[in-house]
Amino acid sequence: MAELLPLITKSLAPYLDRRVWWLAFSGGLDSQVLLHLVWRLREDARSSNTPFPEIRAIHVNHQLQAASAAWAVQCEQQCAVYHIPFTLKVVTVSGRRRGVEDLARDARYREFETALDSGDLLLLAHHLDDQAETLLLRLLRGAGVNGLAAMPASRALGAGELCRPLLATPRAALEAYAAAQQLTWLDDPSNFDTHYRRNFLRQRVLPLFAQHWPDYRQSFGRAAALQAEAAQLLHGYINQDLAGMCADDGSLDLRALALLPDIRQRAILRQFIINRSELALSSAQLETIAAQFLQSSADRQPAFRLAAGVLLRAYNQHLFCETAVAETSSPLPSELAWDLNSELLIPGVGRLVATRGGVFVPTEPVLIRFRQGGERCRLAGHAHHRPLKKLLQEWRLPPWQREVLPLIYCGGELAAVADLAVCDGFSAAVGEEGWKIRWVPEALT
Ligand SMILES: Nc1ncnc2c1ncn2[C@@H]1O[C@H](COP(=O)(O)OP(=O)(O)OP(=O)(O)O)[C@@H](O)[C@H]1O
């Protein structure tokens, strides 16, 4: 069986420049082995005077069992033995929508994510048996390539990254290491409760596999790695497609999308939404959205609420996926003063930012107002006044943005229309330096 110390030395070598390595410590066999290995790496580095990242352990108490608090204490004591600082996070897992395992996992990763500072590394003790189980569980859920890629050996997590240095190592190798090093660990009794899907696979199903396919773990691990490669390739192609179909404002060109075969349309739509909102759609949601927005009358369809604060809506045959949309709309102020030297944040409207080097030259203090109807303006360099309504149609500004469009007034006159146009009498002469206005609508901030 492969030696674990050289293996982990190699897999963690790319991360030696990180400030902190956080070890996700449940106190079970696997994370106890990882703790011991990482401690040995640090001892080796100390004895050779080599710089080494700071190691800290983090334990999440999900409060799901009577003994949870006592375990946390034992975890802390274990870490003290190795002089590894210990952080405890206590979470409350509630809700019956999904299995308690999934909820606990989500809560745990949220805690990990908050703990990580920029560039920190989180170490998890998942091993090859965990990977094989994950692949099977995903298969049983009917997952596609992304799901069947199972757990990646590393990925971004919040401001840092996570890494699973033991992912290619079978659990038996960890058991052998723990025995050889005379380690002690906590045994979570819930690991034997076959009501949990993962435990059922582990206790009842996989031992049967092992009788006929003794190398099933390695085969499953390879299958997952192949799916991960396929997923990565597809991802690259889909993002290339997307790049050619997105306008500068981030919207997706529905006319161009409609020309593609169905499966490509759906893959692009799914990726567009993930990129904008980080929400992964179920197949049913994807079908509904495709049916709603991939029709000629897409512009007349109501907004589709994907999740709290995330809206999909179409305008001018372009699909907009907006995040951070206010859930309730408060009335707009009738007038606001704006000192261009500082950013102006208007709830429900967004941010107005002015920087030097543009063409807008205010003649008097700047006031922000909103459309009342009937506004007219003469654009810089144009001979006639025109209704603002017509101009907004020509500029193809989505209707929901027209409602909150900041109008910039100087001395009672319309001087600029957000960052879309500057009116006559307010634009810089040749050689004169003015302001550049930028409006970041609330849904895009
Ligand atoms: N409560 C927890 N607090 C901190 N880290 C955890 C916790 N639960 C799991 N982890 C991390 O996630 C990894 C995989 O979790 P999993 O539930 O498969 O393991 P476990 O059986 O609970 O514990 P171990 O892997 O230590 O035997 C663990 O090895 C550990 O690194």
Note the pLDDT tens digit of each residue in 259-284.
Answer: 999 999 999 999 999 988 888 888 88
250 lines ligand 1 (CB under 6 A): no
Residue whose CA lies nearest to ligand 1 atom number 11: 24
Across 158-179, average pLDDT: 97
Across 18-38, average pLDDT: 97
24 lines ligand 1 (CB under 6 A): yes
* pLDDT per position as a tens digit, 374-398: 999 898 888 889 999 999 988 888 8
All domains of the chain, ordered by start, with CATH? Answer: 4-228 (3.40.50.620), 244-322 (1.20.59.20), 336-444 (no CATH)
Residue 101 has pLDDT above 90, yes or no: no
111 lines ligand 1 (CB under 6 A): no
| Radius of gyration over every alpha carbon of the chain, rounded to an integer in angstroms | 29
Q: How far is the CA of 165 from the centre of ligand 1 (A)?
A: 14
134 lines ligand 1 (CB under 6 A): no
For a mutational test of ligand 1's pocket, the pick from 8, 21, 26, i.e. the residue with the most ligand atoms closer than 8 A to its C-beta, is 26
25 lines ligand 1 (CB under 6 A): yes
Q: How far is the CA of 31 from the centre of ligand 1 (A)?
A: 6
Q: How far is the CA of 277 from the centre of ligand 1 (A)?
A: 29
Q: Given pLDDT bands bounded at 50, 70 and 90, which one contains residue 445?
A: very low
Across 236-255, average pLDDT: 91
Residue 190 has pLDDT above 90, yes or no: no
Q: Please tell me which of 107-116, 313-322, 355-364 the model is most confident about, judged by mean pLDDT.
A: 107-116
268 lines ligand 1 (CB under 6 A): no
Give the closest residue to 407 by CA, choosing from 375, 382, 379.
375
Q: How far is the CA of 27 from the centre of ligand 1 (A)?
A: 8
419 lines ligand 1 (CB under 6 A): no
Residue 330 has pLDDT above 80, yes or no: no
Helix axes 262-277, 283-293, angle to 10 degrees: 100
Dihedrals φ, ψ of 348, to 5°? 85, -10
List residues bridging with 68 in a β-sheet: none
How crowded is residue 110: how many other Cβ atoms within 10 Å of its Cβ?
Answer: 14
Across 398-426, average pLDDT: 90
For the chain, what percent of residues have pLDDT higher than 90?
66
Q: Given pLDDT bands bounded at 50, 70 and 90, which one contains residue 130?
A: very high
Q: Which residues are annotated as a binding site?
A: 26-31
Average pLDDT, the chain: 90
pLDDT of 407 reads: 95
pLDDT of 195 reads: 67
Residue whose CA lies nearest to ligand 1 atom number 16: 126
pTM to 2 decimals?
0.75
Across 228-257, average pLDDT: 92
ipTM value: 0.92
Stronger pLDDT, 171 or 399, i.e. the higher one = 171
